[in-house]
Amino acid sequence: DLDPLIPEPCVPFSLQIPNVVPAYLNLHYTCETGSRLLFSSVIWVSKLPVFRSLPDDCQVQILRSCWTELFVLGLAQSAPQLAFSTIVTSLVNCFKAAVVQEKLTAARIKLMADNISRLCDFVQNIQRIGVDDYEFAVLRLLLLFSTDNIRREPMRHSTSLEGIQDIACRCLRVHIDQSHHPSQSDRFAKLLLKLPALRTFNANTMEDLFFANLIGQVQID
């Protein structure tokens, strides 16, 4: 039973988008949306009893290690609300302007272009699969309690955390079997393969894309 790990009220992911939507989405609006998305991701995580049971320093370590993945996953889940394609257009236009003004090095240009491309691919792939709220919740749980995270001090000595991934995966498989057509026999594998894909996003570049207009040179950490 996944309920002790993700109680039913915690399954949905809620995002309050900015009330005033400009006729043309500018970078400030995109950054404001990004900040709300990051805040909503942290709020979602902080409601989990298993996460709240950890020492404060462990909670901080975990969030620092996977905030980018949580952010991208939240963006993919909220894409229909956010007019995602328009936000991407805004990012690309600002990116092009920075290139013309020679504000970026060649290395940063490549990183930003690669991240934008992979972000679009990831969101489109998630939408094609039709990931539901429960599946998104399990993916978040697996990100939080990845093997790397549960091996951190002092969590590595907690036997109660060792089985979280196994329980989450079993519940995910049961959910898929009960909720989706039998022809989707590869759905479980497709969902788990989203986890390594999420780890390919560069944290510094995501800061540049979604937060630089609000926080300047201050890092998310």
- CATH (one of 1.10.565.10, 1.10.10.10, 3.90.78.10, 1.10.645.10) for 22-211: 1.10.565.10
| DSSP string for residues in 203-215 | HHHHHHHHTHHHH
Q: Give residue 215's pLDDT.
A: 40
Q: What sections of 53-163 are H helices per DSSP?
A: 56-82, 84-100, 106-129, 133-144, 147-150
Residue 88's closest CA among 119, 59, 132?
119
Q: Give residue 18's pLDDT.
A: 67
Q: Give residue 121's pLDDT.
A: 96
pTM above 0.75, yes or no: yes
Q: Which residues of the chain have pLDDT under 70?
A: 1-3, 18-27, 150-160, 162, 180-182, 213-221
